[in-house]
Amino acid sequence: MYMKKLGILITLVVILFGFTPKNKVVYIQPLGDVKPEYLKLVKEGVESFYHFQCVIKKPIPLTNDLLVNSKTRYSADKILSKFNNQQNYLVLTLKIPLLLNQNLKEM
């Protein structure tokens, strides 16, 4: 079950952020408790498929500023905004974030 969630989030982050070929380093940022074996699996997958170097960063705790208004789920929009920068960031979490946009209501 966790691997399915992890795969969904990895796909989401890759699609939304994309990776720039200029900088062939991917920074893997664990958000909350992510098992070391998941980090290792993702690192090995990115290195073998994309041929990018991977750097696993220190875990950052999930904070209340990333929650949706109901305080029951995390907001993908807020997570993506918080980690939006010029580096190739791959944010991993075992929490399934809620995608919000103009057409979706918060659950």
* pLDDT digits 0-9 by tens, 30-58: 999 999 999 999 999 989 988 889 999 99
Tell me which residue range forms the domain holding 24: 2-61+84-92
pTM: 0.68
Q: How many domains does the chain have?
A: 1
**6, part of any domain:** yes
The C-alpha atoms of residue 92 and residue 99 are separated, in whole angstroms, by: 15
H-state helical runs in 18-87 = 36-50, 76-82
**75, part of any domain:** no
Q: What is the dihedral of CA 14, 18, 24, 25, to 10 degrees?
A: -50
pLDDT single digits (tens) 82-99: 888 778 888 888 877 666
Q: Is 71 exposed, middle or buried (0-12, 13-18, 19+ CB in 10 A)?
A: exposed
**74, part of any domain:** no
CA count, 13 A, side-chain hemisphere, 78? 16
**102, part of any domain:** no
**13, part of any domain:** yes
